[in-house]
């Protein structure tokens, strides 16, 4: 049986029995061209046998599986991705830390960004925009030389992590209908307070209005201006 290379024209002689019907792929030993040789070609005496190329092995067909099994198989192929879990964990930690800082440092935030005080008010979180607070405030009345006196004492504390100036203290006496009866200011002994530092204050008023129900104590810096 004669085989002819379709690329370079080289012809080869081989036994017909080596090419079973319907044929097979062969490679030219000269130019390495591969072609399909049918088993019915004519015989002519010529060159030695070409290189016989075995047919490629058939690829196994993947059996069809149900939708549920297919989804499970796809999950196994994807596998567990730790980076995705760590990414979500880092995101949750970042959000949690941001919320914690926004709540616990709201006074410092409001002092630098006063507009944020209204947001904290909506959340029912008290905000100290001055950075100072009153502690241990007491008020009592007594009589000295036949004249009544109102005594108010307390402490001013710096609740921030930085040095702050101490404004004047505004004291307002109010009646049962929250009307202001009398007001005055107290000049603090110290003009600044270090972080965590506090100082006492004392003031006394002779002949306070008899309608006085309570004393409202604030810093002058926090009083709204018209």
Q: For residues 210 and 60, what is the distance between their CA atoms, to the nearest angstrom?
A: 103
Smallest Cα–Cα separation from 55: which of 79, 78, 28, 23?
23
What's the structural domain count of the chain? 3
Q: Please tell me whether residues 118 and 146 are part of one structural domain.
A: no
Alpha-carbon distance 118 to 121, whole Å? 5
Unique residue bearing structure tokens 């100072």? 132
Residue ending a domain, among 74, 96, 129, is 129
| Residue 64 token pair | 């069809």
60 is a domain residue: no
Residue 198 and residue 143 share a domain = yes
User: Would you give per-residue pLDDT tens digits along the chain (226 residues)?
Assistant: 777 888 888 888 777 777 777 787 888 888 888 888 877 654 444 445 555 555 566 555 554 444 444 454 454 455 567 788 888 888 888 898 888 888 877 766 766 676 776 777 777 777 767 788 899 999 998 888 889 999 999 999 998 888 999 999 999 999 999 999 999 999 998 899 999 999 999 999 999 999 999 999 999 876 554 4
Domain that holds residue 203: 132-222
| Three-state secondary structure call for residue 72 | helix
Task: Note whether 211 and 180 are same-domain residues.
Answer: yes
- How many angstroms separate the CA atoms of 52 and 144, rounded? 128
User: What global pTM score does this model have?
Assistant: 0.47
**Which pLDDT value is given to residue 59?**
59
Residues 143 and 204 in one domain: yes
Q: Does 48 map to a domain?
A: yes
140 and 217 housed in the same domain: yes
Q: Is residue 71 part of a domain?
A: no
């Amino acid at each position: 049986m004669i085989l002819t290379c379709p690329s370079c024209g080289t012809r080869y002689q081989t036994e017909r029995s080596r090419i079973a019907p319907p044929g097979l792929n062969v490679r030219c030993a000269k130019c390495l061209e591969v072609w399909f040789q049918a088993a019915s070609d004519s015989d002519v005496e010529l060159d030695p046998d070409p290189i016989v190329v075995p047919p490629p092995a058939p690829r196994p067909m993947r059996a069809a599986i149900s939708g549920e099994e297919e989804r499970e198989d796809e999950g196994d192929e994807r596998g567990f991705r730790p980076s995705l879990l760590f990414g979500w964990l880092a995101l949750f930690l970042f959000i949690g830390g941001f919320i914690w800082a926004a709540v616990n440092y709201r006074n410092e935030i409001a002092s630098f960004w006063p507009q944020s005080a209204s947001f904290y008010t909506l959340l029912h979180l008290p905000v100290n925009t001055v950075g100072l607070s009153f502690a241990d405030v007491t008020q009592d009345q007594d009589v000295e030389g036949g004249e009544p006196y109102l005594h108010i004492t307390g402490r001013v504390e710096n609740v921030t992590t930085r040095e702050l100036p101490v404004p004047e203290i505004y004291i307002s006496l109010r009646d049962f209908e929250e009307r202001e009866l009398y007001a005055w200011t107290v000049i603090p002994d110290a003009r600044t307070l270090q972080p965590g530092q506090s100082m006492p204050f004392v003031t006394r008023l002779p002949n306070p209005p008899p309608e006085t129900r309570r004393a409202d104590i604030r810093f002058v810096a926090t009083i709204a201006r018209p």
